Structure 1
Amino acid sequence: MTRRTRVGALAAVVALVMASGCGGDDDGGDKTPIIGQPGKTVHIATAFDQPGFNLFARHHNRGFDMDIAFYLGEELGFTPKFQDVTHAGRERELQDGSADMVIATYSITPKRQQKVDFIGPYLMTSQGFLVRRDYNGIKKEKDIGGKTLCTVEGTTPARVRMPPSTVVNEVPDYSTCVSKLQGGGVDAVFSDEALLFGYVEQQKKSKVPLKVVPNVTMGLINRYGIGIPKGHRDDCKRLLKALRKYLVEEWSSDIKAQLPALVETYSGDWENRFKPDPQDLNTYSSCRV
């Protein structure tokens, strides 16, 4: 049985819960367009310290989230302008108007859909463990007991219930977690598997290389979406159409380019594990087309 089949029943239940708390097609009149006329600058909040998804270095943004933003900009005629955001501050950026859009490994959840609208998913991922390459203390889920983990505040992994003997440190960003891991301050970093593979690639030539423990996960499947302020129905539909096209045309090649460690670890199965079905967008998005 495939992973997508195993989570199919859960997806249907979650979709019903989400639909009750999101801005759907029956909302009132649409607000001032986010995208607007061709050439408009759209302010996109993203995390600048996530290799593989977005790493800001040498005055340049590079990563899978950036690939999506540039693709949407080309398809819909807007110019992305990026700004850094903490994981805990993503809803606030949209609600107070500081950002027009969030593309920042932003998992779609019913609680978040009460505050913002989502388009997606553009990636689905289990939650796993990043460890030092020479560390073999975690081979099964039961090995998590008694370990010291690091995760980031305001993220879905921070809400996963761990064994009582496990110590979980919450910090503002993943770079801090990775530093703690390489320095021996924690046994593992706990977060979305896909996100962790970016650090494997970034640190492969460092003095303390890293690895993701394969096939050891906890919590639910996370689905990354594009966040926008509530009430922008027309923008939501335009983004949804463009994102569905992206999944068919560019998704696989961009993952290969930005997250090669993910592809290598799950060779032969990585698309089934991480790529959403384009039809899933109508299940989890705050609008439908």
Structure 2
Amino acid sequence: MKISKAAAAAAVAVALALTATACGGSDKDSASDAGASGGAKKDKIVIGIKFDQPGLGLKTPDGKYTGFDVDVATYVAKELGYQPDQIEFKQAVSAERENLISNGDVKLVVASYSINDKRKAKVDFAGPYLLAHQDLLVRADDTSITKAEDLNKKKLCSVTGSTSAQNVKTKLAPEADLQELPGYSECLTGLENKSVDALTTDDSILAGYAAQDKNKGKFKLVGLKLSDEKYGIGLKKGDTELQTKVNAALRKMVADGAWDAAVQKNFGPAGYKNEPAPQITEGS
């Protein structure tokens, strides 16, 4: 009986030791994985994009993501070591982009994000990767609007609170009848049924809407350059290492032709005359 108890005790001790060893190994692996998730092991990268801008960043009903910003983000992520299935796209509405970056909710923001000094006080940028301009979208058969001043006495549409529309009305066409609607889709409907005469915002955004299958042939860009909008990739302030890597990826995308291919794929059907890829000015 004593031998049996001793044997049993020994067996328990061995079992406990083995369990402890296994647990220890598991904890080590978990710690390794956890540490890797923080940057050593590239499990995934979270990138902020727009979900509602055709041609730039759009989440389709089947859960896919399309647009020029999506193509740029995917290319950059690949150069950073992430395959498409390792990318998590997160919606980045305009008012939340700085917060998403500062709070660490996203690693990058690629969302028609114009570089300006106010934003650079809070985040850093890589790029720019696209030079856009404020423009006008009109009906394809409209020959009466060829310059901003032609909007006088006409109905100009943009989204509520748009600085683009105010810019036109204040500086260029003071007699324009400004119609502010909740979204660009409503403006397009108005443009199609002739309740408005023109829609204004960045030409890249306008081209994206005009290039949609349901809109092909209905609208055209006037081709004005009412402002310069340099789209950059937002990232955490002070992360110069990431900034340098993203800039290198953007340069490579231009050099190997992928940038031009993405422009034609996403904007070409609208007859969008894009500027050449801009020189990278942010960071090194």
TM-score range, shorter chain: 0.7 to 0.9
CA positional deviation for 1:33: 11
SS of alignment partner, residue 231 of structure 2: strand
For residues 239 and 102 of structure 1, what CA distance do their matches in structure 2 show? 12
- Larger relative contact order (C-alpha < 8 A, sep ≥ 6)? 1
Whole-angstrom CA distance in 1 between matches of 2:93 and 2:165: 14
1:129 is displaced (CA, Å) by 0.7
Residue number in structure 2 paired with 1:216? 224
Match of 2:149 in 1: 142
Shift of residue 171, structure 1, vs aligned partner: 5.0
Q: 2:87 aligns with which of 68, 80, 83?
A: 80
For residues 1-289 of structure 1, the aligned pairs below 5 Å read 36-57=39-60, 58-78=62-82, 79-152=86-159, 157=164, 160-162=167-169, 163-170=173-180, 173-203=183-213, 209-213=218-222, 215-218=223-226, 220-249=227-256, 250-262=258-270, 264=271, 266=273, 270=274, 273-276=275-278, 280-281=279-280, 283=281, 285=282, 287-288=283-284
TM-score relative to the length of structure 2: 0.74
Query: Could you tell me how far 1:256 is from its partner in structure 2?
Result: 1.6
Q: Which has the higher helix share?
A: 2
Which amino acid in the other structure matches residue 74 of structure 2? F
Distance apart, 1:150 and its partner CA: 2.8
Letter aligned with residue 268 of structure 2: P
Flag the 1:224–1:205 CA change in 2: closer, same or farther, 3 A: closer
Q: Take 1:33 and 1:197, find their aligned partners in 2: how far apart are those partners?
A: 41
Q: Check the 8 A contact 2:128/2:231 in 1, yes or no.
A: yes
Specify the structure having the higher radius of gyration (Cα): 2
8 Å contact from structure 1 (residues 87, 154) kept in 2: no
- In 1, distance between residues paired with 2:92 and 2:195? 26
Normalising by structure 1, we get a TM-score of 0.73
8 Å Cα contact 1:117/1:230 also seen in 2: yes
**Structure 2: how far apart are the matches of 1:154 and 1:236?**
32
Q: Partner of 1:40: helix, strand, or coil?
A: coil
Change (3 A) 1:186 1:65: same
Q: Which amino acid aligns with 1:54?
A: G
Partners of 1:123 and 1:275 within 8 A in 2: yes
Unmatched segments (≥5 aa) in structure 1: 1-31
Q: How many angstroms does 1:97 deviate by?
A: 3.5
Percent of aligned pairs with the same amino acid? 34
**d(CA) in 2 for partners of 1:169, 1:108:** 27
Moved more, 237-246 or 90-99: 90-99
State the secondary structure of the residue aligned to 1:235.
helix
Q: Which runs of 5+ in 2 are unaligned?
A: 1-34
| Deviations 1:191-230 (CA, angstroms, capped at 9, x unpaired) | 1112211111115557x822111x3332x21111101121
Report the AA paired with residue 55 of structure 2: G
- Structure 1 CA distance for aligned equivalents of residues 272 and 76 of structure 2: 29
Taking structure 1 as reference, are residues 98 and 265 closer, same or farther at Cα in structure 2, changes over 3 Å only? closer
Mapped to 2, the partners of 1:43 and 1:120 lie a distance apart of: 19
Q: How many residues align?
A: 242
CA RMSD of superposed structures (Å): 2.8
Aligned equivalents of 2:241, 2:233: Cα separation in 1: 15
Shift of 1:169: 4.4
Does structure 2 conserve the Cα–Cα contact (< 8 Å) formed by 1:129 and 1:217?
A: no
Given the superposition, is the C-alpha separation of residues 140 and 56 from structure 1 closer, same or farther in structure 2, using an over 3 Å criterion? same
Question: Cα 1:107–1:158, aligned 2, differ >3 Å: closer, same or farther?
Answer: farther
Alpha carbons 2:133, 2:224 under 8 Å: kept: no
2:10 corresponds to: none
Could you say what secondary structure the match of 1:259 adopts?
Answer: helix
